[in-house]
Amino acid sequence: MATGDMYINGQRFAPTGELYVTDSGAQTGITAVVGASGNVAAASAVATLAGAAGKTTYITGFEVTGSGATAAAVVLVTVTGLIGGATATYVLAVVAGATLGNTPLIVQFPKPIPASAANTAIVVTVPTLGAGNTNSAVVAHGYQL
């Protein structure tokens, strides 16, 4: 075991949060999960990492992309279902102009964050980007163990 390695449910992780795999390249009991909102216009975009019976869901990161709206705005992106009941909140600036792109919000957690309990979903929600917005999307990724 290298210095700083950690164990979660008997699985060995590097200090960076990366999962050590077996010589065959496969890790038993791990299921990759991805949630995506698809494209939405002037509405909430939601990405869900579903819960699974007898397993804990972990989020490793998410990405928010989209275009502007009629007026500039600031919205709060939230991540819910996290350990301890915490809600993580991130600020996203929306530019004025529906044909302009917002700066993508890309979050990669240094270590995977578990859900608050087994069989609990983790949800990333982007509120509406405003009137005139035609494109908003969020993708979340992680795994179940």
Residue range 136-142: average pLDDT?
Answer: 97
- pTM for the model stands at 0.82
Is 111 contained in some domain?
A: yes
For residue 96, being part of any structural domain is answered with yes
Domain assignment present for residue 7? The answer is: no
Report the number of distinct structural domains present in the chain: 1
At 112 the pLDDT is 96
12 domain-assigned? no
Q: What's the CATH code of the domain at 88?
A: 2.60.120
Domain residue limits at 82: 29-144
Q: Within a domain: residue 75?
A: yes
Work out the average pLDDT over 108-132.
97
| Residue-wise pLDDT tens digits, 71-119 | 999 999 999 999 999 999 999 999 999 999 999 999 999 999 999 999 9
Rounded to the nearest 5 percent, the helix, strand and coil shares of the chain are 0, 50, 45
Domain assignment present for residue 1? The answer is no
Q: Nearest Cα to 73, choosing from 91, 46, 99?
A: 91
Q: Does the residue 106 lie in any domain? A: yes
